[in-house]
Amino acid sequence: MAYWRRSSRQMQAATGGVAVAPTSPVAEKPKSPRSRMMRQYDLVERVRSYNPDTNEDLLNRAYVYAMKAHGTQTRASGDPYFSHPLEVAAILTNLKLDDATIVAALLHDTIEDTEATRAEIDNIFGHEIGALVEGLTKLKRLELVSREAKQAENLRKLLLAIADDVRVLLIKLADRLHNMRTLEFVPHASRRRIAEETLDIYAPLAGRMGMHEMREELEDLSFHVLDPEAYAVVKQRLDALADRNRNLIGEIESQLSKNLQKNGIIARVYGRRKQPFSIWTKMERKSIGFEQLSDIYGFRIILGEVEDCYAALGVVHTTWPVVPGRFKDYISTPKQNDYRSLHTTVIGPGNQRVELQIRTEEMNQIAEFGIAAHAFYKEGMGSPTERLKHESNAFAWLRHTVGILSESANPEEFLEHTKLELFHDQVFCFTPKGKLIALPRQANVIDFAYAVHTDVGNSAVGCKINGKFAPLSSELQNGDEVEVLTSKAQSAPPSAWESLAITGKARAAIRRATRTAVRDQYAGLGRRIVDRLFARAKIEYADDKLTGALPRLARTSIEDVMASVGRGELKASDVARAMYPDYKEERLVRYGAKKSLAVKLKLKSEPHPARSTSVIPVRGINSDLPVKFAPNGGAVPGDRIVGIVTPGEGITIYPIQSPALKDFEEEPERWLDVRWDIDETMPQRFPARILVHNVNEPGSLAQVATVIAEHDGNIDNISMSRRSPDFTELTIDLEVYDLKHLSAIIAQLRAKAVVAKVERVNG
């Protein structure tokens, strides 16, 4: 939300030097205007105006029930609380919604804020209305660690309810709209939070559902709260421009109407001014000032038939010069929210740029009211199956999105993906077979691949854009033809793709594939650990025998068992006992710490046919297994090494001489045979630590660093401590290629006069 972090000076520059006094938060609650509350008969008349067959008795019962349920409750403004659900219902009558929706609007806060229950509402008003009201009820008594988590869980509940019945969304948007209209009475801190949530979630959701008029009002109301100074500046400039151009707007409307009529086209033409929020965001996005905007006013040409739209376009383009690159045909290629229209920009009277939208009356209804303009949720549409035949693309998108988002691992992840999915500026691209793929602006080939199919995304290794090879991170443009190149050898995407992807679908799929790949890694590691124990104990392992023991291990599958062993959550000996109750865990004979350690390492270092398959190759820090090195000293190729399984972290590699290994003497199941597997054609550096006793004189540290640099060593970290007035002890973490490389550096350091002693540290 960078647009309300700009300074007053920046805003003056962007808006042509006009300054407005900053608006400070209101110290006291403003008094409510106390406008007359709508009466029972008023509501019934509003519904009857578009639905002569309305169930007046149902509406009357809901009105009385809600009024009694809320009783003496009041809003922050001091008005009776019942005025709020009544106004929500009134907003929905403007959308000409069915009786059940109006009734649910009247009752939408009863379960949450009164003694009413779902069972009682079902009994009085029926299951359909009860389900709508429950879908609008927030989660209560939810023990979550953050406000974001609670917000995410409430949003998840709402979206799932919307996926079952879109009328839940229409009521929720009307509810939020009325709350935003009366936000001035809410405390300042809560006001900002509600406005941010509206701008982040509800306004984009309204836009995704094609309800642009509601989206624009929600955006402007939020903008006014979040940055009143910027809002005032833009509003002032818009009002001044309107005064200057009042005659010009009428002239353009008149000329358009006359030219169309002259060509036998009957049309309704009207101009409208863009809203402050859309003006401000465009100034921010393009880094331009107010005077540089050329499309503050837009004109709509409303016609009867689709053919008339293209005929009107021809008249416009032959009358005035066209601005290149500004024509878009959303009739032949509608947006995902069902928006259809022709867009073009011409140089009109007075050399003024004129932005035109050309559409039919039906398209205009859908553009303004979105899914509320569809008839599939209205009464008399038959069974749910028949209703789905009339489902809008926007609602289909919502169902699909909820299906993806419900797989998110945690509430915050769900909220993040929801926000990504809601913003609706789009580019349209094509597969080589001509299938249209709609993506958000700034989407790349990774997003495209996952939009085609999850398997295509997971196995993508390259791409061609318009026949030319390009990186998978390439941003896509309208009309691009994209061919995704895949490989069966890649079953999971690189985890780094998650930071490159734009769409929630791609990010969720990458995160899911990464989790699966990590689980498979742990399962593979766990299987090796189990195989090794069974071979050492000379007992037979079989999957079918382990299947019978799953209940004793509280796991549902063999893979779960192996992954738990790999993560250190289960011991291999627990698996053996579950399969063989008489199994007794191996106990090592103790000869003192050093002796027992030597015996164990000797057993691990000697090849043995029964456990030759348990040796795990170590490929440095880029291993396919979760591998890391000993924290205090590391290990380098040339060292004899041993692996220790660390619960939840994977394998830690220690050199054989590390004193830290004595801490694991009593846990033989955690020890693994490991070996180096280094590709000599691709040298890698590995961690080591040395201790240098340096003469305390000027330039001594520089001499040590020079020796290391001249012999191609890399200093990762260095710490100093004064042991005596004459000597300084340096602890240096190095990165070297192997033991030979490390030994050469140590030898060169020992040859320096300023160095008294050098030794390697084994943590």
Q: What is the pLDDT of residues 426-471, one digit of tens each?
A: 677 888 887 878 787 788 999 999 989 989 999 999 999 988 999 9
Rounded Cα distance between 525 and 537, Å, is 19
pLDDT for residue 151: 62
Query: Residue for token digits 């509402």?
Result: 121
Comparing CA positions, the residue from 169, 176, 158 lying closest to residue 209 is 169
Please, which pLDDT band fits residue 593 given cuts at 50, 70 and 90?
Answer: very low
Rounded Cα distance between 759 and 763, Å, is 13
Tell me the three state secondary structure of residue 185.
helix
For 707, residues 6+ apart whose C-beta sits below 8 A from its C-beta are 745, 748, 749, 752
Main-chain phi, psi angles of 78, to 5 degrees:
95, -10
Domain residue ranges of the chain, discontinuous segments joined by +: 35-137, 139-226+385-419, 236-373, 513-579, 593-676, 686-761
Rounded Cα distance between 296 and 273, Å, is 6
Compute how many other C-beta atoms are within 10 angstroms of the C-beta atom of residue 44.
18
pLDDT at 69 over 70: yes
pLDDT at 605 over 60: no
pLDDT at 621 over 80: no
Rounded mean pLDDT, 492-518: 85
pLDDT for residue 399: 60
Residue 685 Ramachandran class (φ > 0 left, ψ -120 to 50 alpha, else beta) = beta
Sign of CA dihedral 537, 543, 544, 547: positive
Q: Are 673 and 614 in contact (CB under 8 A)?
A: yes
72, two tokens: 């003496």
Catalytic residue among 112, 329, 362, 729: 112
Question: What are the respective helix, strand and coil percentages of the chain, to the nearest 5?
Answer: 50, 15, 35
- The DSSP letter of residue 751 is T
**Kind and range of the H or E run holding 301:** strand 297-303
**Any bridge partners for residue 441, and if so which?**
none
Looking at 103-112, 172-181, 650-659, which range is the least confident one? Answer: 650-659
The predicted model scores a pTM of 0.54
Looking at 98-107, 280-289, 596-605, which range is the least confident one? Answer: 596-605
Q: Could you tell me which residue, 670 or 660, shows the higher pLDDT?
A: 660
Query: E strands of 582-649, at which residues?
Result: 616-618, 627-629, 641-646
Catalytic residue among 56, 98, 113, 531: 113
| Tens of pLDDT, residues 416-432 | 555 555 544 567 788 88
pLDDT for residue 426: 66
Comparing CA positions, the residue from 323, 222, 291 lying closest to residue 14 is 291
Can you list the alpha helix ranges (DSSP code H) found in 267-305?
A: 276-286
pLDDT at 18 over 60: no
pLDDT at 531 over 70: yes
Among the CATH numbers 3.30.2130.10, 3.40.50.970, 3.40.50.12780, 3.30.70.260, which is that of 686-761? 3.30.70.260
Q: For the chain, what is the mean pLDDT?
A: 78
Active site residue 112: yes
Please, which pLDDT band fits residue 153 given cuts at 50, 70 and 90?
Answer: low
Looking at 11-15, 107-111, 300-304, 435-439, which range is the least confident one? Answer: 11-15
For 588, residues 6+ apart whose C-beta sits below 8 A from its C-beta are 596, 599, 600, 665, 666, 668
Q: Which fold would CATH assign to domain 236-373? A: Beta Polymerase; domain 2 (3.30.460)
**Any bridge partners for residue 718, and if so which?**
732
Q: Are 357 and 343 in contact (CB under 8 A)?
A: yes
Please, which pLDDT band fits residue 648 given cuts at 50, 70 and 90?
Answer: low
β 353-360/297-303 pair status:
parallel
Q: Are 530 and 541 in contact (CB under 8 A)?
A: yes
pLDDT for residue 607: 35
pLDDT for residue 374: 53
Comparing CA positions, the residue from 714, 724, 522 lying closest to residue 636 is 714
pLDDT for residue 394: 56
Domain 35-137 has CATH 1.10.3720.10: no
Percent of the chain with pLDDT over 90: 20
Query: Residue for token digits 């205009």?
Result: 364
**Kind and range of the H or E run holding 177:** helix 167-181
Main-chain phi, psi angles of 665, to 5 degrees:
-60, -35
Query: Residue for token digits 């879908």?
Result: 135
Rounded Cα distance between 121 and 123, Å, is 5
Percent of the chain with pLDDT over 70: 76
Q: Give the DSSP per-residue string, 309-327.
A: HHHHHHHHHHHSPBPTT--
Q: Could you tell me which residue, 31 or 639, shows the higher pLDDT?
A: 639
In Å, how far are 137, 529, 659 from 597, measured between CA atoms? 63, 19, 10
**Any bridge partners for residue 130, and if so which?**
none
Query: Residue for token digits 């766990």?
Result: 526
Rounded mean pLDDT, 257-266: 89
Contacts 24+ apart (CB under 8 A), 464-469: none
Amino acid of residue 598 = A
pLDDT for residue 3: 35
**Kind and range of the H or E run holding 485:** strand 482-486
Q: What SS3 string covers 29-58?
A: CCCCCCCCCCCHHHHHHHHHCCCCCCCHHH
Rounded mean pLDDT, 751-761: 88
Tell me the three state secondary structure of residue 481.
strand
- Decide whether 35-137 matches 236-373 in CATH topology: no
Rounded mean pLDDT, 171-200: 89
Q: Could you tell me which residue, 218 or 366, shows the higher pLDDT?
A: 218
Rounded Cα distance between 671 and 459, Å, is 35
Q: Could you tell me which residue, 143 or 307, shows the higher pLDDT?
A: 307
Q: Are 138 and 110 in contact (CB under 8 A)?
A: no
pLDDT for residue 564: 85
pLDDT at 155 over 70: no
For 410, residues 6+ apart whose C-beta sits below 8 A from its C-beta are 149
pLDDT for residue 95: 85
Tell me the three state secondary structure of residue 114.
coil
For 438, residues 6+ apart whose C-beta sits below 8 A from its C-beta are 335, 336, 426, 427, 428
**Any bridge partners for residue 268, and if so which?**
302
| Tens of pLDDT, residues 350-408 | 677 788 999 999 888 887 777 666 544 444 444 333 444 455 565 565 665 555 555 55
